C-alpha cells in the first residue's frame, strides 16, 4: 500500500505527537513583595511542520484551590496548547507545588535571611490576589518581553483572574475554566456548609487540638522528669514518650490536609468504583463525571495534584459565600463591583453538571463585563475536575486558541495602524 503523507500544514493526531518534541522546559523564580519565592514552570514551544496559529503567545496558567501544576499537566491540556504554539507559564501559588513552604526555608537559609512572615499557613486569598498574581504576571512579562499576557485560570485561579483583570491593564485576554463569579449562587449545599460549617466544626476542631496539645505537653513534661532521674531504663521510657531533642509545639488547626484526603481517595478510584459512581454522577451533579475522564489520569491528579490549603483561605471562601460577595478584605476592593471594568477578550467555560461553577454562578460576570469578544459556554456532561484533563479538553483548548488568535490579530492590526509609535 502507498503511504499517505500528511500535508505539512495539517497537524497529526495528538496521540501521534511525542509530548517532549513540542517544548523546551524551564523553571524560574518569582519574588513577591512579602518575601515568597514562587516558581513558574515554562513550556516554551518548538516549531513544528504544521501551522501553529498562536505561535509564541504567552499564556499564564493558574491552578485552583489546593491544586498545583498537575491540574493542567495530568492530561493533554498543556500538550494541545503547545501544538498550537502557545508559550505556557504555569504559576504555582504560595504553598503549592514547586512554590512550597520547604523552598522558602531552603532559600532563606541559603541567603541568610528570615523566611516569609506568613509561612506557618498564615496567608489567605488576599495574599494570592495582592502578592502572587502581580509578581507572577510581571515575571512572565519580563521573561517574554511582552507588555501584555494571556491569563488562563482554573477554579480559584479563574476567580482570582476576574479580580486581576478588573484592576490591571496588562492582560491581553482572560480564560476561566470552572470559575464562579458569584460563588455559592444556586448551590444550596455549599451555602449551608459555609453558614454552619465554621460555626459547628471550627469550635470542635479547636477543642480537639487543645485536648491533643494537653496530652502532648504532659508527655514532654513526663519525659523531662524521667531524663533528669538519669536512670537507663527510665531514659528508654522517656524516649518512647518523646523522641530526644524534639521540642514541644501545640497542636493547631492551621491548614486543611486536602492532599492526604485526595491520596487516600486515589487508592479507592479503581475502574470498578468509578463505573459505579458514574451511574449517579450524571444525574446528581458533582465534582467529577467519571465518564469524561480516564481512571489513570484521575488517579494521577488525586495522588500528585493536591496540596494543603490554609484555614484562613477556607474561612475567607466561607465568608464570601455567606455574604454573597467576593472582596479583597485588606484593601476593600470588590471584585463584583468592578466586573464592568473588564473589556479584554474573555471566555468563561464551565461544565453543565458543575454545581460550583454553574450557569447561575457564572452569569454575573457574563452580564457585567464589557468585552467585545465574550464567550460564555457550558461543556456538555462535564463537572468540575475533568475540565482540564478529560475527554473534552480539545473543545476548551480550541476556545483558548480562538480567543488568543482573535486578540493577537487585533493587537497586531492596531500596531500596524499606529506604525512606529506602537513600538
For the cut 80, the answer to whether the pLDDT of residue 149 exceeds it is yes
281-298 pLDDT, tens per residue?
655 556 888 889 888 888
For the cut 70, the answer to whether the pLDDT of residue 241 exceeds it is no
Write down the pLDDT at residue 256: 84
For the cut 70, the answer to whether the pLDDT of residue 130 exceeds it is yes
Lowest-confidence region among 49-58, 293-302, 315-324: 293-302
Write down the pLDDT at residue 337: 97
Write down the pLDDT at residue 2: 42
Pull the grid cell for residue 61.
496558567
Question: Cα separation of 150 and 86, whole Å?
Answer: 10
Asked whether 39 and 27 are in contact (CB, 8 A), the reply is yes
Compute CA distances 402 → 21, 153, 362, whole Å: 23, 16, 21
Give the whole-number percent of the chain exceeding pLDDT 90: 64
Asked whether 148 and 170 are in contact (CB, 8 A), the reply is yes
Taking the mean position of all CA atoms in its chain, how far away is CA 169? 22
Would you place residue 195 in the very low, low, confident or very high pLDDT band (cuts 50, 70, 90)? confident
351-373 pLDDT, tens per residue?
999 999 999 999 999 999 999 99
Compute CA distances 302 → 293, 298, 305, whole Å: 13, 6, 6
Write down the pLDDT at residue 316: 95
Average pLDDT over the chain reads: 87
Asked whether 179 and 157 are in contact (CB, 8 A), the reply is yes
- Average pLDDT (156-180) is 98
- 317-342: b (≥16 Cβ within 10 Å) or e: bbbbbeeeebbbeeeebebbeebeeb
Residue 301 vs residue 312, higher pLDDT = 312
For the cut 60, the answer to whether the pLDDT of residue 209 exceeds it is no
Would you place residue 267 in the very low, low, confident or very high pLDDT band (cuts 50, 70, 90)? confident
| Residues 6 or more apart whose Cβ sits within 8 Å of residue 265 | 302
Pull the grid cell for residue 406.
482573535
- Average pLDDT (243-267) is 76
Write down the pLDDT at residue 54: 97
Q: Considering only the top CATH level, what class is 14-185+324-422?
A: alpha beta
For the cut 80, the answer to whether the pLDDT of residue 206 exceeds it is no
Q: Which residue has the cell 503523507?
A: 5
61-114 pLDDT, tens per residue?
999 999 999 999 999 999 999 999 999 999 999 999 999 999 999 999 999 999
- Average pLDDT (51-63) is 97
Q: Which residue has the cell 475567607?
A: 316
Write down the pLDDT at residue 4: 44
Asked whether 36 and 132 are in contact (CB, 8 A), the reply is yes
Write down the pLDDT at residue 159: 98
Would you place residue 272 in the very low, low, confident or very high pLDDT band (cuts 50, 70, 90)? confident
For the cut 60, the answer to whether the pLDDT of residue 204 exceeds it is no
Closest to 94 in 3D by CA, of 49, 47, 130: 130
19-49 pLDDT, tens per residue?
999 999 999 999 999 999 999 999 999 999 9
Pull the grid cell for residue 331.
484593601
Asked whether 54 and 404 are in contact (CB, 8 A), the reply is yes
380-405 pLDDT, tens per residue?
999 998 999 999 999 999 999 999 99
- Average pLDDT (330-348) is 98
Question: Cα separation of 286 and 296, whole Å?
Answer: 19
Domain residue ranges of the chain, discontinuous segments joined by +: 14-185+324-422, 189-300
Write down the pLDDT at residue 223: 62
Write down the pLDDT at residue 270: 76
Global pTM reads 0.88
Neighbours of 109 (CB within 10 A): 10
Write down the pLDDT at residue 5: 46
**Can you list the alpha helix ranges (DSSP code H) found in 247-309?**
258-268, 271-284, 295-304
Question: Cα separation of 399 and 150, whole Å?
Answer: 13
Amino acid at each position: 500500500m502507498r503511504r499517505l503523507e500528511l500535508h505539512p500544514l495539517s497537524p497529526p493526531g495528538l496521540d501521534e505527537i511525542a509530548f517532549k518534541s513540542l517544548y523546551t522546559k524551564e523553571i524560574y523564580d518569582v519574588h513577591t513583595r512579602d518575601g515568597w519565592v514562587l516558581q513558574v514552570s515554562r513550556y516554551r514551544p518548538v516549531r513544528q511542520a504544521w501551522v501553529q496559529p498562536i505561535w509564541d503567545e504567552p499564556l499564564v496558567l493558574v491552578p485552583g484551590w489546593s491544586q498545583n501544576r498537575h491540574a493542567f499537566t495530568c492530561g493533554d491540556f498543556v500538550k494541545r496548547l503547545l501544538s498550537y504554539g502557545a508559550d505556557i507559564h504555569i504559576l504555582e501559588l504560595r504553598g503549592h507545588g514547586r512554590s512550597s513552604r520547604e523552598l522558602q526555608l531552603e532559600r532563606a537559609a541559603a541567603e541568610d535571611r528570615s523566611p516569609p512572615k506568613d509561612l506557618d499557613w498564615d496567608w489567605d486569598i488576599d495574599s494570592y490576589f495582592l502578592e502572587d498574581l502581580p509578581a507572577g504576571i510581571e515575571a512572565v512579562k519580563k521573561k517574554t518581553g511582552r507588555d501584555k499576557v494571556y491569563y488562563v485560570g482554573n477554579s480559584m485561579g479563574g476567580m482570582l483572574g476576574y479580580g486581576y483583570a478588573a484592576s490591571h491593564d496588562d492582560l491581553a485576554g482572560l480564560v476561566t475554566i470552572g470559575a464562579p463569579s458569584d460563588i455559592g449562587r444556586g448551590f444550596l449545599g455549599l451555602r449551608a456548609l459555609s453558614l454552619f460549617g465554621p460555626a459547628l466544626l471550627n469550635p470542635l476542631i479547636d477543642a480537639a487540638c487543645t485536648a491533643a496539645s494537653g496530652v502532648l505537653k504532659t508527655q514532654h513534661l513526663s519525659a523531662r522528669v524521667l531524663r533528669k532521674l538519669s536512670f537507663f531504663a527510665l531514659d528508654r521510657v522517656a524516649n518512647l514518650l518523646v523522641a530526644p531533642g524534639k521540642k514541644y509545639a501545640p497542636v493547631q488547626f492551621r491548614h486543611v490536609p486536602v492532599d492526604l484526603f485526595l491520596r487516600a481517595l486515589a487508592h479507592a478510584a479503581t475502574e470498578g468504583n468509578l463505573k459505579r459512581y458514574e451511574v449517579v454522577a450524571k444525574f446528581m451533579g458533582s465534582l467529577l463525571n467519571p465518564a469524561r475522564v480516564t481512571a489513570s489520569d484521575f488517579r494521577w491528579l488525586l495522588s500528585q495534584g493536591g496540596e494543603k490549603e490554609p484555614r484562613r483561605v477556607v474561612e475567607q471562601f466561607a465568608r464570601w459565600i455567606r455574604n454573597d460577595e467576593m472582596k479583597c478584605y485588606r484593601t476593600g476592593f470588590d471584585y463584583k463591583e468592578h466586573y464592568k471594568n473588564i473589556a479584554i477578550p474573555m471566555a468563561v467555560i464551565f461544565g453543565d453538571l458543575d454545581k460550583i461553577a454553574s450557569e447561575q454562578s457564572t452569569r454575573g460576570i457574563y452580564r457585567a463585563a464589557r468585552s467585545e469578544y465574550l464567550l460564555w459556554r457550558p461543556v456538555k456532561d462535564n463537572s468540575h475536575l475533568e475540565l482540564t484533563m478529560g475527554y473534552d479538553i480539545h473543545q476548551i483548548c480550541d476556545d483558548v486558541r480562538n480567543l488568543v488568535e482573535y486578540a493577537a490579530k487585533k493587537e497586531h492590526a492596531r500596531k500596524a495602524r499606529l506604525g512606529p509609535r506602537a513600538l
